Amino acid sequence: MTEFKNTANNEVHKRLTEAADACLDENLGQASVPAVNQYLQLAAEQALDTEAICQAINLDQHLLSDNSKQITGLQFQQLIATLLALSSDDLFGLHTAKHVQPGSYSVLGYISMNCENLGQAITKIQPFEKLVGDMGTTTFASFGDKVKISWHCQFTDPIVKRHMIDNCLGSWLTFARYLVGEKSNPSEILLSRKEPSLDQQNEYQAIFKCPVSYGQKENAIVFDKALLSLPLNKGDQQLLSTLESHAQALISDLSTETDIITQLQNAIEKSLKSGNFHQQEIAQQFNISAKTLQRRLAALGLNFQTLLDEVRLKLAKQHLVKSILNLNEISTELGFTEPRSFYRWFNKLTSQKPGEYRKNNIK
């Protein structure tokens, strides 16, 4: 188990360090548990040890049994990077699409099922897609007799991003066919990825059942506007209204949770130099106990150490690239009792020494 964890973590750190270097302040959002489980289902099917994988990235498996919960986008990116490192399937993301269910889209999936037609279901994506996660955004465009739905992924790891895009477009089509049947085949798929091998092109063709264009500026599904009027099999307008009210309440709760995380991050950042940044001390700032803070973070798929490391790492990289402070001064700013602790911590998280990082990133 230890050997597995070290191997998986080394691969994840390598990928995430490269991504973080490109965008120090990137917020990867949140991902719903049903969206996460879609990946883990395929992993289990491929005989990957999902329990060990979750332990390797400190993902609480108990959380994954509650479809109302979310994990951080950063942890989701770590999970996918680990799965890809261990799987021999170079189209892993695409193949997860077969595991999509209405519940994979949280309440949004059930809202879609109860719309009158495909067009109405599509209009529900933008206002409620945050319930599935905010790892990316969806946009729509109409031109002539065609409609284009594009998805813009905000994940920073380029390999993870490619698989996320395949998952998203593939899952959309699989779910659309569940709602209206094979009549929903698109006119064309646009992918930003480079043209793959002929075998992989055939696999894309088999799943999308339409022409696929590679090397495009965006990732999108293009289809005939006439498909928007296709009736859905199980639409119930009265239930739709109830579901939308519930979804609005859930989105409000998500916004509150995001505000709490931001407040905690700000409190940690302000407290680092003084040394009063430990869980008990931060909890006191919010007039709650350390155990209560721990429970609230666990409900969001987080723990205090992860939050502390994220804040420190962001500030460390900013200081190394943008400030004139020496390494000992940066160590003090981040609340380390001695520079050696800072050096070891930074190297553990990034596989680079602080001085090396500064040398490689100052332009």
Q: How does pLDDT run across 221-276, given as a tens digit for each residue?
A: 999 998 888 887 665 566 556 656 756 666 666 555 656 788 888 889 889 988 88
Q: How far apart are alpha carbons 174 and 151 in whole angstroms?
A: 16
Token output for 360: 């490689």
Sign of CA dihedral 54, 164, 64, 17: positive
Confidence of residue 24 (pLDDT cuts 50, 70, 90): very low
Residue spans per domain, the chain: 2-235, 245-361
Between CA 251 and CA 268 the distance in angstroms is: 26
The pLDDT confidence band at residue 60, using thresholds 50, 70 and 90, is confident
At 137 the pLDDT is 86
Residue type, 201: Q
pLDDT tens digits, one per residue of 100-140:
876 666 666 666 777 888 887 887 776 666 666 778 888 88
Question: How many CB atoms sit inside 10 A of residue 310's CB?
Answer: 17
170-185 as b/e: b if 16+ CB within 10 A: bbbbbbbebbbeeebe
245-361 in CATH: which number?
1.10.10.60
- Look up tokens 């302040």; give the residue: 25
The DSSP 8-state label assigned to residue 300 in this structure reads T
Q: What is the pLDDT of residue 290?
A: 87
Round to whole Å and give the CA distance between 75 and 28: 9
Average pLDDT over residues 286-303: 81
Could you give the CA distance from residue 86 to residue 67 in angstroms, rounded to a whole number?
A: 26
**Nearest CA among 69, 1, 84 for reference residue 37:** 69
- Mean pLDDT check: name the lowest of 9-13, 259-263, 326-330: 9-13
